[in-house]
Amino acid sequence: MIGPGAGARVYLACGATDMRKSITGLAVLAQEHLRQNPASGAVFAFRGRRGDRIKLLYWDGQGFCLYYKILQKGRFPWPGSGDAVARLTSAQLAMLWEGIDWRRPSWGAPPARVG
């Protein structure tokens, strides 16, 4: 995905968002609901009610970028509290975008040392 770098701040709008909202509507949500400046360079993530689609809003310094993804199968993992906001790391955002549960990644145990 072309977009923000590894150190980007990521804000996730908990609960469901109306996916009919455009860039302007999502920027208003970022400002009023998440209490963040939408043009700050942070990434703002929103998920629809059905859970199979997300939108990411990002200001790249010249304008807003809107990333939209619809899963063919499954749902994006998402916290349910409608008025809350969650902070994610860039790694968690990458997992979210791929449909991986960023809340509980399944990492294998490190290999045993030989020698």
Place of tokens 């980007």: 8
Q: What is the pLDDT of residue 115?
A: 58
Overall residue count recorded for the chain in this entry: 115
Task: State pLDDT tens for residues 43-86.
Answer: 999 999 999 999 999 999 999 999 999 999 989 988 876 668 88
Measured CA to CA, the distance from residue 104 to residue 102 in angstroms comes to 6
Specify the pLDDT at position 71: 92
Instruction: Please tell me the pTM assigned to this model.
Output: 0.83
Q: Measuring CA to CA, which residue among 85, 84, 86, 83 is closest to residue 102?
A: 86
